[in-house]
Amino acid sequence: MNVPSPRPLNSISLLWDQTSEHQTTGITNPISSLSSTTAVTMATAGSFLQRCHRALTKIPRLTSQLTSQPPRKPFHPHHPRLLTTSTTTTTTTTALTDLSQPLPEVAPRTRLTPLSPSYYTGSPEYYDNLLALQDLLRSHQALPTIHGDDAPVVKWKTIDEYRLIVGDRVKPSRYNKVIHILDRLNRIDPAIMPAETKEVLALYMRPENQALGRKIERTTDNFGRAYAIGRRKTAVARVFLVEGEGEALVNGMPVNKKFSRLHDRESVLWPLIVTNRVDRYNVFAVVRGGGLTGQAEACTLAIARALRIHEPALKHALREAGCVTVDHRQVERKKPGHLKARKMPAWVKR
């Protein structure tokens, strides 16, 4: 009962938990599990996997629950798991606190029960991990969040690094699911983020995260001008935005002389129109390349960016108006042997 047997990972035979073994293996002592916790929190990237192994071997198993109850369904949204919120902790905590107590005798059974509820999923390691994260997320669902832009900048482990953790069978889409949950957890208000969550998130971060978080702050220059560049199609617009009375010059011309189409003129001034700042700023733009539509919408992007330098609080409004979205599409080049980018000459017999 008190001998924790270090087991090799992923060996099928050991995934099976035989009831007859429960008396010999099973619950580790609480002290060792404590030390493993600290080890995990201080884990570095290099020995990560080994630590994981060690931690794995020391997981206290709720053998009583597993064996005395019928096998659980793989997933149920309201199923109490090992990690739950305060509302569901009652049973779990008692189970955990009872760990030091000797387990009640269970009648030996011959039927084999998979230890993991995701045993039949094909990649049980991944799904266990995902389920645990989902549990964590569900338990913190009600905590207030902040906007994604204000959340601390984090770089998660790449898919290759993640594969090292959970095994090889992780498709990018599955990896994305995990990242999605992590991003959501990261958006919990930092002021009240539970320490437990912080630790969990730390496990998935890349070590170079300390270098992040220092963004180059763009400011207006000493003349009060904000400078920004925008591109669309093959046009490039450089824009100086100053506080003023609403004059707009594009290539030295008023907007109505540069752009004869009303639609294009509206496009140029769209960031200012939407935020109702047409008469607050003067625009001086230089546009090169491309056609009229490209030039007009390059101006849009540049003005929106420059406006954000003046007033960062306009970010959401401009995003909603579609002014800060970069459209990087360009004309596809013509290829030799083709008539256009893709068109092939008509087939001629002989």
Partner 1 sequence: MPLRTVFLQPSTLRTLPRYASFTPRLNPALIRGFASKDIPPPAPSKPVGPNQDVLPPVSEEAALTADIMGGTSPELEQGTPIGEMLKRDPAARQNAPKVLKETPGTKREYSTSATPIEPPPSDTPVDVVSSTAPASPPVSVDAFALTVPGAKYPLPQLPLPSCSHLKHRYSTLLEQVTNFIMIGGRKAKARSLVDQILAHLRTFPAPKPREGTPLLPGTPALSTLPLDPVQYLQTAIDSVSPLVKISMLKGGGGTKQPVPYPLRLRQRRRFALEWISAAADKKRDKLEFAERFADEVVAVVEGRSSAWEKRSQVHKLAVVSRANVIVNPGRTVAPSKIKFPMAVL
Partner 2 sequence: MVPPILWRCLRTPPITHPLKPRPRLHNFTTTPPLSAKPLKPKGPPPSSKMKSGIQRTQSNKIRIKKEPIVAQKPAYEPGQRKELRKRIVLSNTNAIQVVLPTMTADLIGNEDAAGAMFALPSGEEDTTIDRLRALEAFQTKQHWPFFHRPCTLFRRETVEVGRLFERVMQRESTGEDGWANERAILHGYYGCGRTILLLQAMTWALQKDWVVIAIPNAQDLVIGHTEYELEGNSHLWLQKAYTTDLLNKILKANQKTLKRMKLSQSYRLGRIEEVQKGDAMKKVLETAVLDPLLAWDAFNVLLGELGLPGSPPVLFTLDNLNQISIPSKYRDPAFNVIHSHDLALPNTFLAYLSGKRSFHKGITLAATSSKCSRTLALDAALEGREVDPYERLDPRIGPSIEGAQIIHVDSLSKEEAKALMDYYSESGIMKDTVDLTTFNEKYAVSAGNPRDLFSTCLRMRQ
Number of H helices, E strands in the chain: 13, 7
Exactly one of 79, 83, 103, 184 binds partner 1 (CB under 8 A); which one?
83
Exactly one of 153, 176, 312, 330 binds partner 1 (CB under 8 A); which one?
312
- Backbone phi, psi, residue 238, to 5°: -115, 130
**Minimum distance, C-beta of residue 237 to partner 2, in the bound complex (Å):** 17
The Cα 116–Cα 102 span in angstroms is 23
> Does residue 14 bind partner 1 (CB under 8 A)?
yes
For residues 168 and 245, which CB has a smaller minimum distance to partner 2 in the complex? 245
Is 75 in contact with 138 (CB distance < 8 Å)? no
Alpha carbon of 30 to those of 21, 33, 81, 337: distances in Å?
20, 5, 19, 73
For residues 135 and 283, which CB has a smaller minimum distance to partner 1 in the complex? 135
Looking at residue 165, its amino acid is I
The end-to-end CA distance of the chain, in Å, is 86
List CB contacts of 291: < 8 A, sequence separation 6 or more: 233, 235
Helix, strand, coil share (%) of the chain residues, nearest 5 = 45, 10, 45
**Minimum distance, C-beta of residue 307 to partner 1, in the bound complex (Å):** 10
Tell me which residue of 294, 309, 297 sits closest to 240, measured CA to CA.
Answer: 309
Where b means 16+ CB within 10 Å and e means fewer, 106-122 reads eeeeeeebbbebbbebe
Q: Which does 186 bind (CB under 5 to 8 A by kind): partner 1, partner 2, none?
A: none
**Minimum distance, C-beta of residue 262 to partner 1, in the bound complex (Å):** 9
> Does residue 272 bind partner 2 (CB under 8 A)?
yes
Residues that bind partner 1 (rule: CB under 8 A) add up to a total of: 78
For residues 130 and 255, which CB has a smaller minimum distance to partner 2 in the complex? 255
Restricting to residues 247-276, which ones interact with partner 1 according to CB under 8 A?
A: 261, 263, 266-267, 270, 274-276
> Does residue 277 bind partner 1 (CB under 8 A)?
yes
**Minimum distance, C-beta of residue 350 to partner 1, in the bound complex (Å):** 33
Tell me which residue of 288, 291, 199, 218 sits closest to 252, measured CA to CA.
Answer: 288
Q: Which does 55 bind (CB under 5 to 8 A by kind): partner 1, partner 2, none?
A: partner 1
Exactly one of 103, 137, 143, 242 binds partner 1 (CB under 8 A); which one?
143
For residues 157 and 277, which CB has a smaller minimum distance to partner 2 in the complex? 277
- Report CA torsion sign: 259, 226, 148, 326: positive
- Backbone phi, psi, residue 4, to 5°: -75, 120
* Both tokens assigned to 266: 């509206």
Restricting to residues 28-67, which ones interact with partner 1 according to CB under 8 A?
A: 30, 33-34, 36-37, 40, 52, 55-57, 59-60
**Minimum distance, C-beta of residue 346 to partner 1, in the bound complex (Å):** 20
Residues that bind partner 2 (rule: CB under 8 A) add up to a total of: 15
- What is the three-class DSSP state of 218? coil
For residues 84 and 275, which CB has a smaller minimum distance to partner 2 in the complex? 275
Restricting to residues 292-331, which ones interact with partner 2 according to CB under 8 A?
A: none
For residues 164 and 242, which CB has a smaller minimum distance to partner 2 in the complex? 242
In the stretch 246-265, what mask flags binding to partner 2 with x, by CB under 8 A?
A: x-x-----xxxx----x--x
Exactly one of 199, 279, 320, 327 binds partner 2 (CB under 8 A); which one?
279
**Cα angle for residues 55, 59, 63 (degrees, 5° grid):** 165
Exactly one of 27, 66, 136, 239 binds partner 1 (CB under 8 A); which one?
136
The Cα 22–Cα 35 span in angstroms is 23
Exactly one of 269, 296, 304, 314 binds partner 2 (CB under 8 A); which one?
269
List contacts with partner 2 (CB under 8 A): 246, 248, 254-257, 262, 265-266, 269, 272-273, 276, 278-279
